[in-house]
C-alpha cells in the first residue's frame, strides 16, 4: 500500500495527534486518526463522483442511526472533501465466518440485527445493493455495523448507474443485479444478498458457486430449494432465494419474522 503523509498544517487544522493510513489512495484515502484522545476514521476525498456523493448523503442522513458509523464532521480543505466519522472497533464479518458455521441461532440473530439496522433505510426507499461479509463489521460488543453505502440506490432516483453497469460484488449479488434489471431493484434485492450471507455463514460455502460464471449459470433457471440441515435457516434462505423478486417476502416485517427461532 502506498503510504501518504499528512501535512503539518492538515494535522494542526484537524487537531490530529497521531494517524495511520488504513486504505490506499485514489479517489478516497482513509486514515485512522487520534483526535483529543479519541480514535476516528478520516476520509480524504479528492473527487466526489456519483458513488461517493451517495455515500456522503447517506452518512449525513443517518448520522445518528445505530448500526451505521456516525458522521462527526464534513468540510472542504484545500479543494478536498474531508469526512470524519466514528471508527468501529472490531472485525469484518469476512474474518469471523468460522465462528458462525453450524450455529443457526447466531446466524439468524445476525440477520435480524442487520435487518433492524437497515429497516429505516429501506422504509426511506434506499437499497444498499452491496451487502457482503466485508461490508458488515462486528464490534467488540458483538453487535453489527453496516458499512459502505457507496452504491446504495434511492428508488426514486432514475439517474443512478445505467442498467448492467453498476459496480457490485458478484458472489453476493441478486439475479436482478446479474441481469442488469435496474427496474426490479428494491429492498428485496438486499433480502436476497443477506440470504447468501446467511447460507455462507451457516454452511461455510457460497450457495450458487465460487465464481461469477458459476453464479450466472445458476441464475438462468429457477433456484432449487437449499437444504442446510437447519429447518429455520432453510426457511429463511428459501424464502429469499427466488429469481423473481416478487416471490420474495413483500414486507420487511416478514423478513424479520423469518429470523425467529
* pLDDT tens by residue, 67-121: 998 889 999 999 999 999 999 999 999 999 999 999 999 999 999 999 999 999 9
Final residue of a domain: which of 53, 86, 119? 86
User: CB of 54 within 8 A of CB of 149?
Assistant: yes
| Domain count along the chain | 2
Q: Give domain status of residue 1, yes or no.
A: no
Q: Return the CATH number at 206.
A: 1.10.510.10
At 35, list the grid cell.
Answer: 483526535
Which residues of the chain carry a pLDDT beneath 50?
Answer: 1, 159-165
- Four-point Cα dihedral 88, 92, 97, 103, nearest 10: 20
User: CB of 196 within 8 A of CB of 205?
Assistant: no
DSSP 8-state assignment for residue 173: -
User: Which pLDDT does position 163 carry in this prediction?
Assistant: 39
Q: Give domain status of residue 70, yes or no.
A: yes
User: Which pLDDT does position 160 carry in this prediction?
Assistant: 43
- Its domain, for residue 35, covers 8-86
For residues 104 and 16, membership in a common domain is answered with no
For residues 142 and 238, membership in a common domain is answered with yes
pTM for the structure as a whole:
0.88
Amino acid at each position: 500500500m502506498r503510504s501518504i503523509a499528512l501535512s503539518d498544517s492538515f494535522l494542526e487544522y484537524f487537531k490530529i495527534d497521531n494517524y495511520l493510513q488504513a486504505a490506499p489512495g485514489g479517489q478516497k484515502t482513509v486514515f485512522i486518526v487520534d483526535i483529543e484522545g479519541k480514535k476516528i476514521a478520516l476520509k480524504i476525498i479528492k473527487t466526489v463522483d456519483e458513488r461517493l456523493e451517495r455515500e456522503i448523503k447517506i452518512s449525513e442522513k443517518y448520522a445518528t442511526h445505530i448500526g451505521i458509523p456516525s458522521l462527526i464532521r464534513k468540510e472542504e480543505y484545500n479543494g478536498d472533501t474531508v469526512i470524519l466519522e466514528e471508527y468501529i472497533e472490531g472485525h469484518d464479518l469476512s474474518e469471523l465466518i468460522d465462528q458462525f458455521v453450524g450455529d443457526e441461532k447466531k446466524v439468524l440473530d445476525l440477520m435480524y440485527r442487520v435487518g433492524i439496522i437497515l429497516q429505516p433505510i429501506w422504509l426511506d426507499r434506499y437499497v444498499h445493493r452491496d451487502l457482503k461479509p466485508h461490508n458488515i463489521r462486528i464490534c467488540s460488543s458483538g453487535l453489527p455495523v453496516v458499512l459502505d453505502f457507496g452504491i446504495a440506490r434511492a428508488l426514486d432516483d432514475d439517474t443512478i448507474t445505467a442498467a448492467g453497469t453498476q459496480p457490485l460484488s458478484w458472489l453476493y449479488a441478486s439475479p436482478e443485479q446479474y441481469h442488469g434489471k435496474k427496474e426490479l431493484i428494491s429492498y428485496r434485492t438486499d433480502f436476497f444478498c443477506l440470504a447468501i450471507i446467511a447460507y455462507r455463514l451457516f454452511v461455510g460455502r457460497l450457495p450458487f458457486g465460487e465464481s461469477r460464471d458459476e453464479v450466472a449459470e445458476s441464475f438462468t433457471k429457477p433456484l432449487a430449494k437449499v437444504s442446510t440441515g437447519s429447518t429455520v435457516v432453510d426457511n429463511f434462505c428459501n424464502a429469499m432465494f427466488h429469481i423473481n423478486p416478487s416471490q420474495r417476502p413483500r414486507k420487511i416485517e416478514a423478513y424479520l419474522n423469518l429470523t425467529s427461532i
